Amino acid sequence: MRQNRMILPTLREVPKEAEVTSHKLMLRAGLVRQLVAGVYTYLPLGLRVLKKIENIVREEMNKSGAQELQMSVLQPAELWHETGRWDDYGPELVRLKDRHSRDFVLGPTHEEVITSLIKQEINSYKKLPINVYQIQTKFRDERRPRFGLMRGREFLMKDAYSFHTSYESLSETYDEMYKTYNAIFNRVGLKFRPVQANAGAIGGSGRNHEFMVLADVGEDTIAICDHCDYAANLEQAEAHGAEVAAAGAAPSTEAPAFEKIHTPNTKTIDQLVSTLGLEAQTFFKTLLYVVDDKPVAVVVRGDHEVNELKLKDLFDAKTLELADDATIERVTGAPTGFIGPVGLKNTALVVDKAVAGVQVGVAGANERDYHLQNVVPGRDFALERVADIRNVVEGDTCPSCKEGKIEFYRGIECGHIFELGTKYSVPINATFLDENQKAQTMIMGCYGIGVSRIMSAVLEQSHDDNGIVWPLSIAPFQVHLIPVNVKDETQVKVAEQLYTRLQQQGIEVLMDDRDERAGVKFKDSDLIGLPVRVTVGKMAGDGIVEFKVRQTGESKELTLEQAFEEITGLVLGQ
């Protein structure tokens, strides 16, 4: 393609709406433009990248035996009522009415539609298992879209759904998808890590893994063992509980009875640590939650935080939120900051495993301006309900190998695979007839990839001070051909010949035929970041051009023939 006529508006300055690197780069390099918050127009260059990613995903999915189809973005509300998600999904679901006032949604995902389709079309065990997918635009009315394509309200996603007669069959397809996802993320050139994850709103009963691209701006924290291959999302990572059993079984009897201490206006653990001069881990931090409209007091160690997802799972709860100040006073009789597990009535009590491992500590007294010291778990408050309800912290022992230490990394979730089970097939009544002519509920899996988000993720990982460094596999063009001076007939002639010849080889070439100064062209070229640059300059008359690799900066002067060989070798992989 000739750059002169292409919509490729590069920017010298960064629009102020962009904060993170990938967002800045995609605006500066002319890949996208924002329409409204979280919604973008893909310009020609950006669209080419998107299509390349899409095609890699498509090729690998097809290779795995999945079949592509395409469902509508617009979906009738009835289906969402059937699964209950019309009510459960919340304000992220974009709802609208047609001219007859019928309710519709813009699909944030397609479990309902696909399950309903398969229910109608697949009735026999002979047709199963089956795995279908689409690459389709999705809508989620995010509370806070941010970071460009990283978290948009409109985004491109590959979503696949598999249907099975047995859990064994589901497991096979799941493993196949796990492999396929690894292949996809390797091909697009990302450093990533599959991690154990929480099923969240999509639900499901079986395994699920997220494919996390490692990047500082990632919105998720992932816990990785420095010794074995354990890796999990922080919200899912299990706290190793070895210290618990021992300590919990034998409460310290040495300690004197607990006593009240005056702690005026000392509400936070930090304040207590500095006032009392004790370590944070000797405090019993007590928080009051409202779980499905009932109060639940939760005790964790002072240096730990509550993991709300674990708590939610523990109660199999629909809703969970921190109690407000009024509720806290009503239930505990004390203002926020002074509540503790000792003598607490009117509420359920859940104690974290690590708390059960503490011999003696300090807790709130359920009275304004007072705490209790010499509090012994099991003696002074019940250890009836002990569970893992905290976030792991760095340095924790690995729950898998029990040897390594947990380290934290930030990750961008670019893929997620689930063993769903029957969460959608039951309400939609998707069944098949088995060998005995008996109706059975289909067992499902689902598998998503954030196609547009991958573009952001690649930019986060693959750039330098001068701009983007595209991996060859998803570069919008493979070669940037730059005649330095388009008023020099020799340069133009040489460049045109090379342009034609490379294209005949099936190589994608962007030729900068603009009447710009060399400096401008080079700066733009570095910014756009195509893998190979060929400069046709003063030595064009002698048949010499400059060949430069964007990633390494390696550059050499070659004859036209050598350059041609070098390019085809590099790009076509010979």
Partner RNA sequence: CGGAAUGUAGCGCAGUUUGGUAGCGCGCUCGCCUUGGGAGCGAGAGGUCCAGGGUUCGAAUCCCUGCAUUCCGACCA
Return the ∠ at Cα 331 (arms to 327 and 337), rounded to 5°. Answer: 75
Here the tokens at position 347 are 């509420």
Shortest Å distance, C-beta 512 to RNA? 11
Output the smallest distance, CB 320 to RNA, in A: 7
> DSSP secondary structure string, 27-90?
HHTTSEEEEETTEEEEPHHHHHHHHHHHHHHHHHHHHTT-EE----SEEEHHHHHHHTHHHHSG
Least CB distance from residue 220 to RNA, whole Å? 5
Q: Which is nearer to RNA, 197 or 356 (CB)?
A: 197
Q: Which of 326, 348, 345 is nearest to 336 (CA)?
A: 326
- Nearer residue to RNA within complex by CB, 258 or 470: 470
Q: Indicate the residue among 17 and 259 with the shorter CB distance to RNA.
A: 17
Q: How far is the CB of 36 from RNA (least distance, A)?
A: 4
Q: CB 16 → RNA: shortest distance, Å? A: 4
Q: Which is nearer to RNA, 20 or 276 (CB)?
A: 20
Least separation in angstroms between CB 350 and RNA: 16
Give me the residue label for tokens 């097939």.
Answer: 425
Binding residues (CB under 7 A) for RNA: these are 10-17, 19-20, 28, 34, 36-38, 90, 92, 108-109, 140, 143-147, 197, 200-202, 210, 219-220, 308, 320-322, 413, 416, 448, 466, 484-485, 487-488, 515, 517-520, 522-527, 535-539, 545-546, 548
Burial 183-220 (b: 16+ CB within 10 A, else e): ebbebbbbebbbbbbbbeebbbebbbbbbbbbbebbeb
CA 113 to CA 157: how far, in whole Å? Answer: 16
The residue (of 14 and 246) whose beta carbon lies closer to RNA is 14
Number of Cβ within 10 Å of residue 268's Cβ equals 12
370 vs 408, beta carbon nearer RNA: 408
Cis peptide before 129 (omega within 30 of 0): yes
Give 24 or 52: the residue with its C-beta nearer to RNA: 24
Name the residue nearer to RNA (CB basis): 407 or 488. Answer: 488
Which strand ranges, in their side-by-side order, compose the sheet holding 74-76? 74-76, 103-106, 94-97
Report whether 132 contacts 160 (CB < 8 A): yes
Torsion of CA 84, 85, 88, 90, to 10 degrees: -150
**In this complex, which beta carbon is closest to RNA, that of residue 396 or of residue 516?**
516
Q: Which amino acid is at 118?
A: I
Which C-beta is closer to RNA: that of 192 or that of 432? 192
**Long-range contacts (CB closer than 8 Å, 24 or more residues apart) made by 14-18:** 18/148
Show the tokens assigned to 111. 């479990």
Cβ atoms of 3 and 514 within 8 Å: the answer is yes
Element (H, E) at 283: strand 283-291
Q: Nearest distance from residue 355's CB to RNA, in Å?
A: 20
In angstroms, give the least distance from the CB of 523 to RNA.
3
Q: C-beta of 275: minimal distance to RNA in Å?
A: 25
- Tally DSSP H helices, then E strands, for the chain: 16, 31
Write down the least CB distance from residue 464 to RNA, Å.
11
